C-alpha cells in the first residue's frame, strides 16, 4: 500500500493576527475538555514565540511547555500570567439572559 506524503498541520502557522488568536482562544474555552484550551494557549504562544512569551510571563520556557502540555494542571495564576504575556485577558459572559432565584 502506498503511503501518503502529507505535511504536518500546525495551527500556529495560521494564527497571524491578534483578533484571529483571540477568536481561537475564545472558541477553545467553550470546549468542556480543559486540554483543548491549554492546547490553544500553547499554539498561540508558539505563534508569538514561546521563549518571548515565557520571559514576559516570568516562567521558564520548559516550565511553560510542561504547563501547557496535554493532561497538565497548571495553576490559575500561571494561566493568567501567560494570557497577559500573550496580550489577552479572560472574560466572563452570561450563558443565559436570566438568573434563577434558586441558583
> Mean pLDDT of successive 10-residue segments in the chain (103 residues)?
84 94 96 95 96 97 94 95 96 76 55
Domains of the chain in sequence order:
13-86 (1.10.260)
pLDDT at 94: 84
State how far the Cα of 14 lies from the Cα of 24, in Å rounded to an integer: 11
State how far the Cα of 38 lies from the Cα of 80, in Å rounded to an integer: 12
Residue 6 has φ and ψ, to the nearest 5°, of -120, 145
Nine cell digits for residue 20: 484571529
Distances (CA, A) of 65 to 4, 43, 100: 30, 11, 41
SS3 at position 11: helix
pLDDT at 37: 96
Q: Mind listing the pLDDT tens digit for each residue in 41-69? A: 999 999 999 999 999 999 999 999 999 99
pLDDT at 103: 52
pLDDT at 35: 95
pLDDT at 51: 96
Amino acid at each position: 500500500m502506498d503511503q501518503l506524503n502529507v505535511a504536518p498541520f500546525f495551527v500556529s502557522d495560521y494564527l497571524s493576527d491578534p483578533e484571529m488568536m483571540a477568536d481561537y482562544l475564545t472558541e477553545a474555552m467553550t470546549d468542556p475538555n480543559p486540554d483543548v484550551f491549554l492546547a490553544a494557549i500553547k499554539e498561540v504562544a508558539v505563534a508569538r514565540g514561546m521563549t518571548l512569551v515565557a520571559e514576559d510571563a516570568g516562567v521558564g520556557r520548559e516550565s511553560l511547555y510542561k504547563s501547557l502540555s496535554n493532561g497538565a494542571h497548571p495553576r490559575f495564576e500561571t494561566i493568567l500570567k501567560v494570557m497577559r504575556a500573550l496580550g489577552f485577558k479572560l472574560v466572563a459572559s452570561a450563558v443565559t439572559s436570566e438568573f434563577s432565584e434558586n441558583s
